[in-house]
Amino acid sequence: MNKVIRPIHYLGSKLRVLEVIVKQIDKISEKKLKVLDLFSGSTVVSQALADSGHQVTSNDVMGYSQSFAIATLGIGRCLENDILEKVRATLFTEYKNNKLHSFFNDIIELESSCIANQNGLELLNLIESGPKIWSKQVRNQSLLTAYKNLKTLEGFTAFETPILVTSFYGGTYFGYKQATEIDNLRFTIEKCANAGTISPWAKSAALTALLSAASLAAFTPGKHFAQYHKVTGKIDTKFHEKRILADRKVNILDEFNKALKIIFSRKNDGNHVALNFSMEELSQNLGEGSFDVIYADPPYTAQQYSRFYHIPEVINSYEVPKLQIIKGEVTSGLYGIDRFKSRFSSKKEAPEAFKDLASLALSKNADLLLSYSGNINGNSGNGRMITLEELTSILESFFQSVEVIQLDLLYRQFNSNALAVNDRGDREYMIHCKIC
Ligand SMILES: C[S@@+](CC[C@H](N)C(=O)[O-])C[C@H]1O[C@@H](n2cnc3c(N)ncnc32)[C@H](O)[C@@H]1O
Residue 414 class from Cβ within 10 Å (0-12 exposed, 13-18 middle, 19+ buried)? Answer: exposed
Q: How many CB atoms lie within 10 A of CB 422?
A: 17
Q: What distance in angstroms lies between residue 142's CA and the mean position of ligand 1's atoms? A: 41
pTM tops 0.75, yes or no: yes
R_g of the chain computed on alpha carbons = 23
Among residues 89, 271, 291, which one has the least CA distance to residue 192? 89
How many residues appear in the chain? 436
The conformation of residue 36, written as its DSSP 8-state character, comes to E
Contacts of 22 (CB under 8 A, 6+ apart): 48, 49, 52
Q: What distance in angstroms lies between residue 298's CA and the mean position of ligand 1's atoms? A: 5
Kindly write down the DSSP assignment for every residue of 69-129, as one continuous string: HHHHHTTT----TTHHHHHHHHHHHHHHH----GGGHHHHHHHHHHHHTT-HHHHHHHHHH
Question: Residue 65 and residue 41: Cα distance in Å, rounded?
Answer: 5
Q: How far is CA 260 from the centre of its chain?
A: 16
Question: Residue 97 and residue 373: Cα distance in Å, rounded?
Answer: 49
Q: How far is CA 371 from the centre of its chain?
A: 19
Kindly list the protein residues whose Cβ atom lies closer than 6 A to any atom of ligand 1.
10, 12-14, 39-42, 44-45, 60-62, 65, 278-280, 297-299, 305, 342, 344
Q: What distance in angstroms lies between residue 40's CA and the mean position of ligand 1's atoms? A: 6
What kind and span of H or E run contains 177?
Answer: helix 176-195
Q: Which atom of ligand 1 is nearest to the CA of 10?
A: 9
- For residue 142, the SS3 value is helix
Shortest-distance Cα residue to atom 3 of ligand 1: 41
Q: What distance in angstroms lies between residue 46's CA and the mean position of ligand 1's atoms? A: 12
The pair phi, psi for residue 66, each rounded to 5°, is -65, -40
Below-50 pLDDT ranges, the chain: 378-381, 411-423
Condensed to tens digits (0 to 9), the pLDDT of residues 270-299 reads: 899 999 999 999 988 988 878 999 999 999
Contacts of 170 (CB under 8 A, 6+ apart): 104, 107, 130, 131, 132, 176, 179, 180
Instruction: Provide long-range contacts, Cβ within 8 A and 24+ apart, for 200-205.
Output: 200/70, 200/76, 201/70, 201/71, 201/74, 201/75, 201/76, 201/77, 201/78, 202/83, 202/87, 204/66, 204/67, 204/68, 204/70, 204/71, 204/75, 205/70, 205/71, 205/87, 205/260, 205/263, 205/264
Contacts of 78 (CB under 8 A, 6+ apart): 199, 201
Shortest-distance Cα residue to atom 27 of ligand 1: 41
Q: How high is the pLDDT of residue 136?
A: 78
The pair phi, psi for residue 243, each rounded to 5°, is -60, -45
Question: Residue 56 and residue 291: Cα distance in Å, rounded?
Answer: 10
Q: What distance in angstroms lies between residue 414's CA and the mean position of ligand 1's atoms? A: 27
Q: What distance in angstroms lies between residue 302's CA and the mean position of ligand 1's atoms? A: 13
Q: How high is the pLDDT of residue 161?
A: 87
Shortest-distance Cα residue to atom 7 of ligand 1: 13
Shortest-distance Cα residue to atom 26 of ligand 1: 41
State the amino acid at position 314 in one-letter form.
V
Shortest-distance Cα residue to atom 11 of ligand 1: 39
Condensed to tens digits (0 to 9), the pLDDT of residues 114-133 reads: 999 999 999 999 999 999 99
Q: Which atom of ligand 1 is nearest to the CA of 353?
A: 19
Shortest-distance Cα residue to atom 5 of ligand 1: 41
What kind and span of H or E run contains 413?
Answer: helix 407-414
Q: What distance in angstroms lies between residue 75's CA and the mean position of ligand 1's atoms? A: 20
Mutate to test the pocket of ligand 1, among 24, 38, 303, 305 (most ligand atoms within 8 A of CB): 305
The pair phi, psi for residue 385, each rounded to 5°, is -75, -20
Mutate to test the pocket of ligand 1, among 16, 47, 60, 371 (most ligand atoms within 8 A of CB): 60
